[in-house]
Every structure is written in structure tokens, then in C-alpha cells.
């Protein structure tokens, strides 16, 4: 769950909704050879589905001991560690390469924790999963690192928009920055086009919740609301 904490409300966006937006952004990407990449469809599908392991967690919801709703950053390590095997497993049968891209994403986003004993078994298991998946698509395996860049880029850009992060985010040869509802990306990856941004969420009161069930019930009663903006390229 992504939670935009505003003065009187929390705007909550599920991880799969964020991931779908990441896929939409990369579908418009004109840079770095993605448009002609023979694995483009697999890359885009992996980007759209990379957070599929969060479905159960977003449905359950999480709060801390004080009743504060927990977003995807604040949930305990045990939650973070169990989502990635689920996400990879959802795609493994139909497309081991897409599942391998998601395994690589899991290893990358938590890479700073490799020396943490609490994460040793997680990294060992995900490395094994990735190797097994790549053994089933050996012709694609040499391209994993170059293709994963697009999954990572889509994830990062969607996170900036969905979270409302306004600090400039460096990227190769340029940066991305959110100004109001406009996501500005340099250098221009869209060939001059403006890309509409739409993500569904639900707005709830900014308060403490007595339990995860209280949070779930409040979210269930809230109306769907669309967060809109636009992504544009800059020189």
C-alpha cells in the first residue's frame, strides 16, 4: 500500500495499481532501445505485474501498535520478504523470463540489506529462484540486466507520482521531478509526447485505526478516486 499522508486524509493506492501505472509509463518510452527490443512485451508485462505479491497484503492491510497505517516502506521485514516469491510465482509458469525480471527487482530494491542477518535466507532463496527461472529461458538470460533497467525505471517514476515525492530524483544523464501534478523527466523519453497519468486510490480520514480490520473496513467504505497528472519530457 502506498499512503499519501495529507493534512486531514490518507490517500491510499494499492501496489498493483501503482505497478499498472509503471507499465503505462514504460509503454510510451522511446529511449534506450525499448521500442525495438524483441522482449518488449515481456518487459512491459513484468513492469505492470511486478507488485503482484502485494495483493494479499493490501487486502489485509497493516497498522502498528499506535494504530498508524503502514505503507509499503514501513511494513515489517517479514511482510516484504514474503511478497516477492508470490509475485514471481504468479508469472513463472506462463513466462519464466518475466518472473526472473521480478526476482531481479526483489534483489535490487532490497540490495542494501544483503549484509543483514535477517535477510540472509531471503537473498539466498531469491537468487536460487532467479537462477532456476533463467535456466528455463536460456536465450533471454544474457539480457536480464539490460532489460531489468526498464522495470526499475517504471517502478521509480510511478512511485514518485503516486507518493507525491517532490525531491529531484537523479537518473542516467538527467533527472525526474514532480512539480504539482506534472512529472518532468529529462532527457525526454517520450519523443515530445505528453503521457497522461491516472491511478486509482481511496481517501480515508487521517487518524489512528484500532486494528487492521478497522482500516480495512474504512477503506472498503471509501469511494474510488482517481489521481491524475501528466508526464512530460524535458531537454
pTM above 0.95, yes or no: yes
Mean pLDDT of all residues in 202-223:
98
Q: What b/e sequence results for 19-47 when a residue is b if at least 16 CB atoms lie within 10 Å of its CB, and e otherwise?
A: bbbbbbbbbbbebeebeebebbebbbbbb
Q: What is the pLDDT of residue 165?
A: 98
Residue 195 β-bridge partners = 231
Instruction: At 12, give phi and psi (nearest 5°).
Output: -110, 130
Q: Whose CA is closest to 47, among 85, 104, 2, 1?
A: 104
Query: Domain boundaries in the chain?
Result: 2-233
Quick: pLDDT tens for 157-196.
999 999 999 999 998 789 999 999 999 999 999 999 999 9
How confident is residue 87, by pLDDT bands cut at 50, 70 and 90? very high
Burial grade of 90 (CB within 10 A; 0-12, 13-18, 19 or more):
middle
Q: Rg of the chain's alpha carbons, rounded to an integer?
A: 18
CB atoms within 10 A of CB 80: 20
Give the CA distances from residue 75 to residues 1, 62, 71, in Å, rounded to whole numbers and listed in that order.
Answer: 9, 7, 6
Does 235 have pLDDT greater than 90?
no
The whole-chain average pLDDT of the chain stands at 97
> What does the pLDDT look like over 98-141, one tens digit per residue?
999 999 999 999 999 999 999 999 999 999 999 999 999 999 99
Whole-number pLDDT of residue 162:
98
Q: How far is CA 174 from CA 92, 127, 142, 178, in A?
A: 34, 31, 27, 14
pLDDT digit string, tens, across residues 17-67: 999 999 999 999 999 999 999 999 999 999 999 999 999 999 999 999 999
Amino acid at each position: 500500500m502506498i499512503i499519501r499522508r495529507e493534512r486531514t486524509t490518507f490517500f491510499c493506492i494499492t501496489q498493483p495499481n501503482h505497478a499498472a501505472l509503471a507499465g503505462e509509463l514504460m509503454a510510451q518510452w522511446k529511449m534506450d532501445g525499448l521500442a525495438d527490443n524483441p522482449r518488449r512485451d515481456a518487459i512491459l508485462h513484468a513492469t505492470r505485474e511486478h507488485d503482484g505479491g502485494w495483493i494479499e497484503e493490501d487486502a489485509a492491510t497493516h497498522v502498528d501498535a499506535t494504530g498508524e497505517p503502514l505503507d509499503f516502506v514501513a511494513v515489517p521485514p517479514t511482510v516484504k520478504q514474503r511478497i516477492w516469491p508470490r509475485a514471481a510465482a504468479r508469472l513463472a509458469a506462463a513466462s519464466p523470463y518475466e518472473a526472473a525480471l521480478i526476482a531481479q527487482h526483489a534483489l535490487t530494491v532490497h540490495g542494501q540489506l544483503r549484509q543483514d542477518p535477517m535477510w540472509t535466507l531471503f537473498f539466498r532463496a531469491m537468487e536460487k529462484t532467479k537462477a532456476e527461472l533463467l535456466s528455463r529461458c536460456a536465450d533471454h538470460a544474457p539480457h536480464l540486466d539490460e532489460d531489468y533497467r526498464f522495470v526499475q525505471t517504471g517502478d521509480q517514476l510511478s512511485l514518485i507520482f503516486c507518493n507525491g515525492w517532490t525531491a529531484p530524483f537523479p537518473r542516467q544523464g538527467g533527472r525526474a521531478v514532480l512539480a504539482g501534478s506534472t512529472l518532468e523527466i529529462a532527457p525526454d523519453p517520450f519523443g515530445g509526447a505528453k503521457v497522461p497519468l491516472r491511478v486509482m486510490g481511496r481517501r480515508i480520514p487521517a487518524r489512528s485505526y484500532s486494528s487492521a480490520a478497522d482500516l480495512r473496513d474504512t477503506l472498503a467504505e471509501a469511494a474510488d478516486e482517481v489521481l491524475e497528472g501528466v508526464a512530460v519530457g524535458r531537454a
